[in-house]
Copies of this chain bind each other. A is one copy, B any other.
Amino acid sequence: MNYLFGVDGGGSGCRVVLTSTDGKILGKAKGGPANIETSFSRARDNIINACMTAFKVANLSENNFKSSYAILGLAGSNLGNYASKLSNDLPFAKNKIINDGEITLEGAIGPVDGCIGALGTGSVFVGRKKGITKLTGGWGFNLGDDGSGAKLGKELMKLSIKCHDGLENHSDLTIDFLKNFNSDIKEMVECAKSFKPIDYAKYAPQIFSAMRCLDRNARKLIESEVILIEKSLIAAGFREENPFCLIGGLGKLFLPFLRDVFVRSCSEPKGDALKGAVSIGKREFFN
């Protein structure tokens, strides 16, 4: 008897759904972080454990675990050779690893042409044109992640330094932000040395709050990213007449500041990334 795992894995955790070959949901489970670029073996173990939990939840015989199929949408799978390495290291009868952006696109708009921007701690833009899916961005925090919470937080730090040094003018946002570090740039620089993307990202909501109070520096930070988000969506194949969703914790926060054509075209996602994974898995393995 075959079963299908759908896996949605990102930097803060992974979610798993187990279905029958006709897509009926049998069990769900959650697990730890699953960005295979940032922590390969930890991601692998978290994914396998979550799948095992879903199997137990569904009360299935363990004998069937290894004969199951799995479709995995994982952050970082577009980088290095992590995806092929993991694919050879999974216990399933068949597996296919794609980017988490791709299952998010499928879940959000279904099997049609259109695009999404996924804006969370990191960012990726995914478009489908004539049936072919393509990632834009998704290159990680060091060199990419435009429009992400992590980038916003880091840019706030850089701007606060410029205000301190007298290159730019302080506003309530930069003054209040520096209070997180006893208003001491040295302390901020020292803290940031051990920061991971998630640590920078925690300051993003503070920027949007300030934006609602028309803070000048908040506007500068958000507008810089909005330009990049719009360019990325267009590069991902945005077309007014096709489905388009802005997803992730920051999607809703950024949307009001995008140009009208994006705001008008934006719709609620039809379903989540797990639904997308199952949909792709059925097409991939059982068609």
Chain A interface residues toward B at CB < 8 A: 78-80, 136-137, 139-140, 142-144, 154, 157-158, 161-162, 165-168, 185-186, 188-190, 192-193, 228, 231-232, 235
6 A–B pairs (Cβ distance < 8 Å), ordered by A? A136-B165, A139-B161, A143-B189, A162-B231, A165-B232, A168-B231
Residues B186 and A161 in contact, CB atoms below 8 Å apart: no
Residues B79 and A189 in contact, CB atoms below 8 Å apart: yes
CB of A50, distance to nearest CB on chain B (Å): 26
Report how far A162 CA is from B192 CA in the complex, Å.
Answer: 26
Report how far A157 CA is from B139 CA in the complex, Å.
Answer: 11
Report how far A193 CA is from B188 CA in the complex, Å.
Answer: 23
Number of identical protomers: 2
Residues B79 and A142 in contact, CB atoms below 8 Å apart: no
Residues A235 and B165 in contact, CB atoms below 8 Å apart: yes
Report how far A190 CA is from B158 CA in the complex, Å.
Answer: 25
Chain B neighbourhood of A137, CB < 8 A: 165
Residues B235 and A189 in contact, CB atoms below 8 Å apart: no
Chain B neighbourhood of A167, CB < 8 A: 136, 228, 231-232, 235
Report how far A165 CA is from B185 CA in the complex, Å.
Answer: 35
Residues B161 and A235 in contact, CB atoms below 8 Å apart: no
Residues A166 and B136 in contact, CB atoms below 8 Å apart: yes
Are A166 and B78 also in contact (CB < 8 A) when A139-B161, A139-B189, A154-B143 are?
A: no
Report how far A136 CA is from B167 CA in the complex, Å.
Answer: 9
Residues B142 and A78 in contact, CB atoms below 8 Å apart: no
Q: Lowest 9 CB-CB distances: which A-B pairs, in order?
A: A166-B235, A167-B231, A136-B165, A80-B190, A167-B235, A143-B158, A143-B157, A139-B189, A165-B235
